[in-house]
Structure 1
Amino acid sequence: MSAQPYNTQSTLLAQPSAPAQSPPPTMQKKPIRSTTSMFGVELEYQQVIDNINRAQSHGRPHKLSVPKMVIIGDQSSGKSSILEALSKLAFPRDKDMCTRFATQVNLRRNPALEEDILLARIEDEDDFNNLFRIVKDPMTFDGVIEQAKNTDISDKALELTLSGPTQTPLTIVDLPGFINTTSDGQDKCLPNTISAINKHYIRDPRTIILAVVQTNVDLNTTRALSEAAEYDPEGERTIPIVTKPDCFQNG
């Protein structure tokens, strides 16, 4: 099936970087796939994901959700470090609330490419008007992310697709970090808005929840684990990740 272009606008950014006797039928083992065969399975899986994404972009039901990893945690808990480690993209990691909307990173293998290519797609250009200009003008990944600090919290998504000859098909979503209080000039409903955005993603039973927690935070009271437990009470699809080991204190 040939790939169809996205219905929304997108911009290309600079590349980052003697035969044995057969056992009885009941004992028959499935053959191990060769490397070539596994590569074919990856491409088939990738094609399914891309078709689902296109269906969603054309207004198809969201029941066609893509299996993905979703990163949740408190603000400044180290979520961006996890996203960077998984995607190999450099995201800002300062103490400002730079993640103000869902950032979805699609890793896609394309053997026809000689190097990695990054494509940015804005889900709603009206909500991301400033970001869209940054993408089209400086043509840099850093410009896209840095400009996010000047936008309001949004339930729309910035989608980044990284294609290359050695990429493994994977979808990762970084969400705005949880906050308990607001500062002067901020919307008092901001904590609830952020919580609603996170719940929208983690309620999907196909989602693997990466719950990021700092070492100096009590695991029994952390917001990430409590939010995950609401939709995954048995913890079958929740993976806690402890960050910032330098903050650990004995006693």
Structure 2
Amino acid sequence: MSTRNRISTSSASKIEHPSLALTESYDEEIAPLLTTIDQIRNRIADIDTTIDLPAIVVIGEQSSGKSSVLEALSSIPLPRGGQHMTTKCPLELRMRRSTTWHASLECSGRLIRDNIPNAQDIGQYINNEQNRLTNHRDQISKQVLLLNVQAPWLPNLTLIDLPGIIQVTSKQQDSTSVNMIEELIQEYLDKPSTIILAIIQACNDIETSAAIKYAKMFDPDGERTIGVLTKIDLVDRGAEQKLLEVFDNKRIPLKHGYLMVKCRTQEDIDNNIELSEALRKEEHFFSKSSKFQSVPI
């Protein structure tokens, strides 16, 4: 994977998706493989939990932009927490390209909702189930939500989103949540078959990022970690060069390098800015920025 890339957002109402071109040439090989992995995963879920299957696991601090990155990859609006915890349990997002739309949500083998009518409804179903599992508290559950989505614009991709790493606990949180998140990270990242998607706020000190810390803990040589730099527009003036050195893989080298994104902010969501408009704003930002013009659009 190139180290000079960005992830782009797109509207779920469109048939064409930016990631479509990335998978088009080899999709005939990937799609059957992922389908087989899905079938195996389903069959062994209740039989043998020691078998490791390939997975892309998303980690990052709370409010690091994990949900924005997942939206960028899927064009599916996911829950946003505002001042509250967004991801309260592991979410496995299985995306498959299909000629028609279909979405369903499960929890530990129990079907919660089949035939979800449109992408805009998915976030509410996820929120409802997470609240049920945690008694409407900012707490963590280890039960896994499985979201299956098929659509013409989707890449053939499976991601597992883990709850955000807690740096400072709130009144609604306690050490139990912190410990459970650490246990989940260890459970998923300790597997050699796991690809780590580390979400890192570019506006913070990247070298002390919790996502980088855990990635290095379980993948010290950076062999299976991809860094995603978020909130580029919030980087302090004068800090851009240091960020570009990270992006160019000079400071914290990873075998597969880094991606750079500017996704929807909470303000964008509050103002009902759609994903397609967020894409235009992202392209405008990178094309007009004197520091980041070298980043491919």
Q: TM-score range by the shorter chain?
A: 0.7 to 0.9
* Counterparts in 2 of 1:164 and 1:65: CA distance versus 1, 3 Å: farther
Following the alignment from structure 1 to structure 2, what is the Cα–Cα distance between the partners of residues 88 and 182?
A: 31
Hey, what does 1:104 align to over in structure 2?
92
Hey, what does 2:102 align to over in structure 1?
117
Hey, what does 2:51 align to over in structure 1?
64
Moved more, 39-48 or 239-248: 39-48
Of residues 166, 171, 188, the one that matches 1:201 is 188
Give the superposed CA RMSD.
2.8
* Counterparts in 2 of 1:181 and 1:45: CA distance versus 1, 3 Å: same
Alignment of 1:113-152 (within 5 A): 114-123=99-108, 132=112, 135=113, 140-147=121-128, 148=130, 150=136, 152=139
The yes-or-no answer on 1:182 pairing with 2:163 is no
TM-score, normalisation: structure 1: 0.73
- Structure 2 residues not aligned, in runs of 5+: 1-11, 14-22, 239-297
Residue type of the alignment partner of 1:55:
R
| CA deviations over 1:18-37 (Å, ceiling 9, x no partner) | xxxxxxxxxxxxxxxxx999
Following the alignment from structure 1 to structure 2, what is the Cα–Cα distance between the partners of residues 162 and 209?
A: 22
Q: Secondary structure of the equivalent of 1:65?
A: coil
Alignment of 1:1-251 (within 5 A): 38-57=26-45, 59-93=46-80, 94-110=82-98, 114-123=99-108, 132=112, 135=113, 140-147=121-128, 148=130, 150=136, 152-165=139-152, 167-251=154-238
* Counterparts in 2 of 1:185 and 1:170: CA distance versus 1, 3 Å: closer
TM-score, normalisation: structure 2: 0.62
Give 1 or 2 for the bigger CA radius of gyration: 1
* Counterparts in 2 of 1:85 and 1:37: CA distance versus 1, 3 Å: closer
Q: Secondary structure of the equivalent of 1:220?
A: helix
Following the alignment from structure 1 to structure 2, what is the Cα–Cα distance between the partners of residues 153 and 124?
A: 19
**Percentage identity across paired residues of the two chains:** 34
* Counterparts in 2 of 1:73 and 1:227: CA distance versus 1, 3 Å: same
Following the alignment from structure 2 to structure 1, what is the Cα–Cα distance between the partners of residues 27 and 205?
A: 42
Count of residues in correspondence between the two structures: 208
